């Protein structure tokens, strides 16, 4: 048995019940409206797990397992019981370097009974440079005890080959998009470069007849890290960068921007493709110079037909 590796994957497993990343709930393939409350409860479980991880609180993480919860990695002997799971996390936190980030690609979430949920998930772990340092697949069983959902069983298997991302997966962005809010109108034009190695975007923001912001975005693949990245340049001198990941029709972009006045803005952007001519945009986990800001509401962007 490899304790550090096992506990690393156990850590990833604990974040999967409701979603991935620091904030965005994963879209469920179980569309039964009667289970919406359960899906919300699983989302909250995820947020609690992430908060406990950020605080390096092994006891708080273990509290979300059942008393006799079980974790099995590949064909290793299972780890059983909340106490052993807590001990594993304590060892793991002592050995952890940096703050690696999770990418979670959900295959399915289903409810085989009133008090049981099953989730199948693919997991990627990236370091601060965006490099994939671990990958795996998991089957998780969650049960309701009283009025709380808890992790009961997780079976995980390593995956040695990480699927290569392709910039063509973002080809649907090419075209002209328009988004309108109460006060502003945003127009974004995306196009391929000459050899289709980059997607170039130009945007403008209007308040009435006045252009209040504009700039350029370049999206390309980092072939050294196997990740899609973007770079943003604003007309007022601000600039930024982002790392993209996909889960079905949803793209998540972790961004870091330096504003024209030197302040630093971080956020997670969500692009959710609704249909070929519509996507929604939202910014969550916003912080300006480390001071939290409220999430934005989802904004709908519509594709405009090319001029004839």
As a whole number of angstroms, the distance between CA 208 and CA 180 comes to: 11
Q: Which residues contact 109 (CB under 8 A, 6 or more apart)?
A: 26, 28, 29, 30, 39, 42, 117, 118, 119
Q: How far is CA 39 from CA 2, 18, 19, 32, in A?
A: 33, 7, 10, 10
**Helix-, strand-, coil-residue percentages of the chain, each rounded to 5:** 20, 50, 30
Q: Which residue has the tokens 């130009």?
A: 202
Q: Which residue has the tokens 């399915």?
A: 108
Are 104 and 123 within 8 A, CB to CB?
yes
Share of the chain above pLDDT 90, in %: 47
**pLDDT score of 305:** 77
Tokens of 66: 């059942």
> pLDDT tens digit string along 130-174?
667 777 888 889 999 999 999 999 888 887 545 567 899 999 999
Q: Which residues contact 184 (CB under 8 A, 6 or more apart)?
A: 205, 206, 207, 212
Reference 177, options 197, 158, 204; nearest CA is: 204
- Average pLDDT for residues 247-275, to the nearest whole number? 90
- 257 pLDDT above the threshold of 80: yes
Q: Which residues in 223-239 are b (16+ Cβ under 10 Å) and which e?
A: eebbbbbbebebeeebb
Are 85 and 73 within 8 A, CB to CB?
no
Burial class (CB in 10 A: 0-12, 13-18, 19+), 282: middle
Q: How far is CA 53 from CA 3, 100, 132, in A?
A: 18, 11, 20
Q: Which residue has the tokens 């309108």?
A: 180
Backbone angles phi, psi at 21, to 5 degrees: 75, -170
- 308 pLDDT above the threshold of 90: no
Tokens of 63: 């509290």
- Average pLDDT for residues 276-288, to the nearest whole number? 92
**pLDDT score of 280:** 94
As a whole number of angstroms, the distance between CA 306 and CA 284 comes to: 31
Tokens of 228: 């899609």
- Average pLDDT for residues 278-291, to the nearest whole number? 92
Class of domain 167-304 as given by CATH: mainly beta
Q: Binning pLDDT at 50, 70 and 90, where does residue 113 land?
A: very high
Of 44-48, 96-100, 267-271, highest mean pLDDT: 267-271
Task: Indicate the range of 65-74, 118-127, 236-245, 271-280 predicted with least confidence.
Answer: 118-127
Intrachain domains 3-158 and 167-304 with the same fold: no
Q: How many CB atoms lie within 10 A of CB 297?
A: 10
Q: Which of the listed CATH numbers 3.30.365.10, 3.40.50.2020, 3.40.50.11810, 3.10.450.50 matches domain 3-158?
A: 3.10.450.50
Sheet holding 79-80, edge to edge: 79-80, 65-73, 148-158, 132-145, 116-126, 101-113
Cα angle 5, 222, 163; round to 5: 50
Cα angle 283, 287, 292; round to 5: 105
- Average pLDDT for residues 71-94, to the nearest whole number? 86
- 276 pLDDT above the threshold of 60: yes
Delimit the domains of the chain by residue range. Answer: 3-158, 167-304
pLDDT, greater one: 31 or 147: 147
- Average pLDDT for residues 271-287, to the nearest whole number? 92
Hey, which residues does 97 pair with through a beta bridge? none
């Amino acid at each position: 048995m490899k304790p550090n590796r096992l506990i690393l994957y156990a850590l990833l497993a604990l974040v999967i019940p409701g979603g991935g990343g620091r904030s965005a709930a994963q879209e469920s393939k179980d569309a039964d409206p009667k289970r919406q409350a359960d899906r919300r409860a699983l989302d909250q479980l995820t947020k609690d797990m992430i908060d406990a991880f950020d605080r390096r609180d092994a006891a708080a993480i273990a509290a979300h397992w059942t008393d006799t919860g079980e974790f099995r990695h590949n064909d290793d002997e299972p780890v059983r019981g909340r106490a052993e799971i807590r001990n594993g996390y304590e060892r793991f936190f002592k050995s952890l370097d940096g703050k690696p980030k999770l990418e979670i690609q959900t295959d399915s979430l289903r409810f085989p009974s009133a008090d049981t949920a099953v989730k199948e998930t693919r997991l990627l772990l990236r370091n601060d440079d965006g490099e994939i340092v671990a990958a795996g697949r998991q089957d998780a069983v969650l049960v309701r005890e009283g009025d709380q959902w808890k992790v009961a069983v997780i079976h995980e298997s390593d995956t040695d080959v990480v699927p290569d991302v392709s910039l063509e997966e973002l080809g649907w962005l090419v075209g002209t998009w328009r988004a309108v809010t109460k006060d502003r109108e945003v127009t974004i034009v995306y196009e391929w470069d000459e050899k289709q190695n980059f997607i170039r975007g130009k945007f403008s923001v209007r308040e009435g007849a006045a252009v209040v912001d504009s700039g350029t975005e370049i999206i390309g693949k980092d072939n050294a890290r196997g990740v899609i990245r973007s770079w943003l340049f604003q007309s007022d001198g601000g600039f930024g960068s982002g790392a993209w990941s996909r889960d079905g029709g949803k793209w998540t972009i972790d961004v870091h921007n330096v504003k024209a006045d030197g302040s630093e803005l971080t956020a997670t952007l969500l692009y959710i493709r609704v249909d070929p001519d519509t996507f929604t945009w939202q910014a969550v986990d916003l912080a300006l110079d480390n001071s939290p800001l409220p999430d934005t509401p989802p904004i709908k962007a519509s594709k405009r037909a090319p001029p004839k």
